[in-house]
Structure 1
């Protein structure tokens, strides 16, 4: 698919024309002027990072799918084989709860899943709704999607038949849309009994990348997409991920481990201290810092939350599917295990997420996309010491896209870049320096100080 260079050149020209007026706007902001809190971000590098997001997410998503729902725990004492450990990496995959005794057909062994340069990555539910949201923002030339745009997009691009790769809250929201209901009512607990499920975590992280260095704006533009399927704690968890993605653009001389920990602790601030997501975060971080192996931390989380339902995490009262294995909470806790113990290393993070249990392709896709963005396309290829396919087939799971659903990561990154231009100009009030091809973005003083 050819990149629409006319749109790109026109938009850059528009940004350049508005540079002086935006500078005036920034100078009139006495608080930011007093703080002197700005960051510069290379637009060229950002495009490569967006490519890295899609590639990293696909590698992690398809690797995590090998073990998806293999291990969800059996309520009670853990027995040998109830969960995977690091010793299981490279060994034969075991059947999932719905596998009817048949292991995954993606790989006979628990290992990375790659697509060679002559192959094509397929869409999955961890990538396809994000793809739809990016497409809607791009084609509607907007920073903020409306209820009508979201509903019309879902109805156009999602198949109505039973095998449409939707689950729980996403499926319920889609059913409500077909009945004439618009977001955010599609995520209203009174209409959608699955509001506490994992769905919004899969579909909205990308909004953080559209608002670099500004998680406040990221959560603003992601608000309606999140509420399309989520409320309460599941909504807060989704905001946590969006915040992590927004902070990923901030580069420092810190190590990847230090950056990840700083980002996570910054994102923790949006969680309500008395809520179970906040307590899950604090508990997982405490066990990680104690030096426990990740397997013991995972097992402790299983006992504390899935078995004993502590800290207000009551999966029984929420009537969650398959003992909560699709619930926002338990998968949030599992994702923190791979995030903390992965320590910013792409391979290790994906490995731990794949082996941790439950909906294992979701945390892997989330952190694979995040770290993939942070290290970019070249960083991913260097990590794995190989090249990958750049082609993506959205029609594996969705429909009605141009070019019979075939796309490239270059084109997907280009569209994301144009959306980021709009958000920085219209929502953030940033400045584009055309000579240096950088964005100048006003940020909170605390963020600015932590970068030094």
Structure 2
């Protein structure tokens, strides 16, 4: 396990890089909504964000996640490498062609779409929750319910037990394998069982001695949203997300989840009116600091970026990742304990590597990024949802509508997978976005000691260098 001191040193360096990134942004962005203003002394800059614009961005986050989540579900676990029907990976030429059966599809393609294509919900329809959106929804609800910025272990446990069905109480029947369906898998299910059966609290629920699934994918698709609650301040976002991440994850799985949290926090510094690609790569490089250099997750990042810069096609990089990590287990990537789950295909590592392919090769284009993530393989809906949400936030609801040249449903049914919410679980992205803004209001005044300009309806957030907090 990494020492607490090493973690603190990485956070200090992260703050320094964030300050440098913001100073660069100040040179290319005007003093407008979402702008970064350079102040004296030069180790401090002020991020100025319109609250109204942030509503549109948070709406875009939920909408982008939903589009990407449901599109990725078409190919989820279709291709995981190896011999047989699930061995030959998809390529860009498979977009629009017939969907192939998943590992649990019993020879039947997805019922979402007969072809590998986008899955949309039109105005008047309702998006359904899934594991990429429902626990983030719970965490946002808990922050609002308790009027807090940092959730306690008891609040997390009680929230999980209140809003998540057990396998014995689930009304959703059984999955394709004949198991009770409560829309929890691997480490999330282990943590839930520890909470419900033993009364255990986080972070004990991710201790390797208690939870042998601590290196699985779960935390990296349930905690990204904390970055959006601390715009431009990844140090505070990491503090918010520390316990939720360690509800289910340790080591590389936790570091990867933190990588996503940092990127979502720094997304507030991106100016969507200028080229997104270089800004996206810049914040990814800052987030790379969260990955200890000796970790396999850091080596995965460095490898994919190197291949991208060298101009290697994304399909070839994906194939190299399969050989390098899932077959040969290089760079300390040991999936021995994870092989009980389709040769480690639910593991944090291989899915992080696949997500990096769509991050770099998507180049900041939400349409292309979701396509690549959907075709990349393994647990394809998870990386797709992560980047769909991030890019949806960056360009906002209006930007998504422009990118896809259409309008979308804004209703959301959390009761598709969870329970215990008002209005029979039917919510709207706009209300969810407004709730998110109220959490940022509290974060700005309580945690950041910064200012809400009531007259101009903006947040003024100080981004400090390593000598000041």
- 3-state DSSP class of the match of 1:37? strand
C-alpha change, 1:34 and 1:89, in structure 2 (3 Å) is closer
- 1:342 paired residue among 353, 362, 383: 362
Structure 1 distance, partners of 2:430, 2:316, is 41
Structure 2 distance, partners of 1:269, 1:159, is 37
* 1:441 aligned residue: 461
* 2:239 aligned residue: 220
What displacement does 1:42 show? 1.1
What does 1:147-186 align with in structure 2 at a 5 Å threshold? 147-161=153-167, 162-179=180-197, 180-186=199-205
Q: How many residues in Structure 1 have an aligned counterpart in Structure 2?
A: 414
Structure 1 distance, partners of 2:165, 2:87, is 37
1:84 matches 2:96 = no
- 3-state DSSP class of the match of 1:273? coil
* Superposed CA offset, 1:253-278 (max 9, x none): 65111111101101001110010000
What displacement does 1:317 show? 4.3
* CA RMSD across the alignment: 1.6
- 3-state DSSP class of the match of 2:230? coil
* 1:17 aligned residue: none
- 1:256 paired residue among 267, 270, 276: 276
TM-score of the aligned structures, taking structure 1 as reference length: 0.89
Structure 1 distance, partners of 2:43, 2:321, is 41
* Superposed CA offset, 1:156-201 (max 9, x none): 1001123110000000000000021111111111100100000001
- 3-state DSSP class of the match of 1:248? helix
- 1:72 paired residue among 80, 84, 108: 80
1:206 matches 2:225 = yes
Structure 1 distance, partners of 2:277, 2:184, is 34
- 2:426 paired residue among 406, 416, 424: 406
CA contact (8 A) 2:138 2:159 kept: yes
Structure 2 distance, partners of 1:385, 1:289, is 31
Structure 1 distance, partners of 2:358, 2:40, is 36
What does 1:8-19 align with in structure 2 at a 5 Å threshold? none
Q: Once structures 1 and 2 are overlaid, which stretch shifts more, 295-304 or 428-437?
A: 428-437
- 3-state DSSP class of the match of 1:432? strand
Q: Which ranges in structure 2 are unaligned for 5 or more consecutive residues?
A: 1-38, 168-179
* 1:101 aligned residue: 107
- 3-state DSSP class of the match of 2:325? helix
Structure 2 distance, partners of 1:105, 1:34, is 56
* 1:295 aligned residue: 315
Structure 1 distance, partners of 2:146, 2:47, is 28
Structure 1 distance, partners of 2:44, 2:187, is 43
Structure 1 segments of 4+ aligned residues over 4 angstroms from their partners:
31-34, 78-81, 317-320
Structure 1 distance, partners of 2:322, 2:91, is 14
* 1:60 aligned residue: 68
Structure 2 distance, partners of 1:303, 1:358, is 14
* 1:118 aligned residue: 124
* Superposed CA offset, 1:57-116 (max 9, x none): 0000000000000000017xx999610000000001000000000000000000000001
CA contact (8 A) 1:197 1:320 kept: no
What displacement does 1:444 show? 3.4
Structure 1 distance, partners of 2:431, 2:258, is 27
* 2:4 aligned residue: none
* 1:306 aligned residue: 326
What displacement does 1:33 show? 5.1
Structure 2 distance, partners of 1:327, 1:345, is 27
- 1:146 paired residue among 137, 146, 152: 152
* 1:39 aligned residue: 47
CA contact (8 A) 1:85 1:295 kept: yes
- 3-state DSSP class of the match of 1:249? helix
CA contact (8 A) 2:270 2:280 kept: no
Q: Which ranges in structure 1 are unaligned for 5 or more consecutive residues?
A: 1-30, 447-452
C-alpha change, 1:188 and 1:52, in structure 2 (3 Å) is same
* 1:20 aligned residue: none
* 2:436 aligned residue: 416
C-alpha change, 1:293 and 1:80, in structure 2 (3 Å) is farther
What displacement does 1:212 show? 0.1
CA contact (8 A) 1:320 1:326 kept: no
Structure 2 distance, partners of 1:356, 1:39, is 36
CA contact (8 A) 2:80 2:86 kept: no
Structure 1 distance, partners of 2:40, 2:216, is 38
CA contact (8 A) 2:206 2:247 kept: yes
C-alpha change, 1:428 and 1:131, in structure 2 (3 Å) is same
CA contact (8 A) 2:237 2:262 kept: yes
Structure 2 distance, partners of 1:124, 1:146, is 24
* 1:266 aligned residue: 286
- 3-state DSSP class of the match of 1:269? helix
- 3-state DSSP class of the match of 2:269? coil
* Superposed CA offset, 1:361-417 (max 9, x none): 000000000000000000000111111000000000001100000000010001111
What displacement does 1:36 show? 3.4
What displacement does 1:302 show? 0.6
